[in-house]
Amino acid sequence: MSVANSSHLTRWLLSLPPVEFVMQQLRETLIGSLKCGPIPKHIAFVMDGNRRYARKNKVETVEGHHLGFEALARILEVCYKSGVKVVTIYAFSIENFKRSKYEVDGLMDMAKTKLVQMSQHGELFDRYGASVRILGDHSLIREDVLEQVNRAVEMTKHNHETVLNVCFPYTGREEITHSIRETVREFSEPPKRTRQKRPFSETHIQRNILNRTLSAQDLETSSNIQYNSSQTSRNSSPIHKAHSTTSISSSSNGRSRKNMPDAEAITAEILTRNMYTADAPPLDLLIRTSGVQRLSDFLLWQCHETTEMRFLGCLWPEFDLWHFLPVLLEWQWKQRRVAAEKRSASKALS
């Protein structure tokens, strides 16, 4: 029996009223038990294994990606129902453009149709107040795909309870580069409001000395310009005019340089503010399927000292509540242990 026929048979069995009722009650009970403990606010998924699943079950690669998308819909419902606020998925890496044109076009077409279908006809996003956001380099997306992706974003922009971040096309290095580029742009413009003075800084003192030197040079240059202007007013040549213009321009540049933001004021918080995930809470949990134990250039900046990472052996189309539940329960157990240690330490200090 083919995977497609087996999938249809499974859906038919699960759609039978008695089976559907029992499974629904069991799912609700399990998810309800999760709500008794702490819930991750931000979960990320590396949806790996679609191609291997297709080869394993002897179906087209594109079909493997379609089954992976169905798995995503199931997991999103579990996340939002249990209280997760932000889900970030690695849908398409910039490195994937190195794959065959047939597969790349298939992934693009699937993104174009599935996102719109979920946004327009599915109840998932409206039921849980989820909005879709596309993170990545949009200049690499085909125009027809970008049009439909923007349509999906537009159809869910009224939702404000939860978020689905779709990284498409994306790499962590490109995101960090984007953040640095935006930060440099900010610090290349004079501030709109007065900056607060910072504590002792060697760079700050050097800048003050340089600014005072430039100001003194500007005054001397201005005096020379006025003197030269009075001496040559009767016979002013284009060369003299050009020299005066250059001196005045240099003076203007010196004054504008004084008002430029101090590069030493760049902090990790500023870079975080310019990341694609700036509005998202800190990353609590990252899950990758297919047994591969690496990040593959995904959320490099967001993974910090408290981010839990889980690498599972199942392929993404196989990922369901039964694989997800143990991971969440283990995360909750660790959070309770950390909280208990903090309480003990607090009592010991008091």
- At a CB cut-off of 8 Å and minimum separation 6, what does 28 contact? none
What are the sequence ranges of the domains in the chain?
38-190+267-349
pLDDT tens figures, 253-287: 554 555 666 778 889 999 999 999 999 999 999 99
Give the whole-angstrom CA distance, residue 228 versus residue 319.
81
What is the percent of the chain with per-residue pLDDT over 90, rounded to a whole number?
43
Q: What is the pLDDT of residue 246?
A: 47
Span 158-183, average pLDDT: 95
Right CATH number for 38-190+267-349 from 3.20.20.190, 3.40.1180.10, 3.10.129.10, 3.50.50.60?
Answer: 3.40.1180.10
Amino acid at 306: T
Across the chain, mean pLDDT equals 81
Using 50, 70 and 90 to split pLDDT, how confident is the model at 239? very low
Higher pLDDT, 307 or 124: 307
Using 50, 70 and 90 to split pLDDT, how confident is the model at 203? low
Q: What is the pLDDT of residue 227?
A: 54
Span 108-116, average pLDDT: 81
Span 325-335, average pLDDT: 93
Higher pLDDT, 348 or 81: 81
Residue 159 has pLDDT above 70, yes or no: yes
Map tokens 């900046």 to a residue: 301
Decide: 46 and 296 in contact? Cβ < 8 Å.
yes
Give the whole-angstrom CA distance, residue 89 versus residue 49.
14
Amino acid at 158: H
Q: What is the 3-state secondary structure (H, E, C) of 88-102?
A: EEECCEHHHHHCCHH
Q: Of 5-9, 13-17, 24-28, 91-95, which one has max mean pLDDT? A: 91-95
252-257, long-range: CB < 8 A, 24+ apart: 254/211, 254/214, 254/215, 254/217, 254/218, 255/214, 255/215, 255/218, 256/190, 257/211, 257/214
> Looking at the DSSP assignment, which residues form a beta bridge with residue 228?
none
Span 120-127, average pLDDT: 74
**Single pTM value for the model:** 0.75
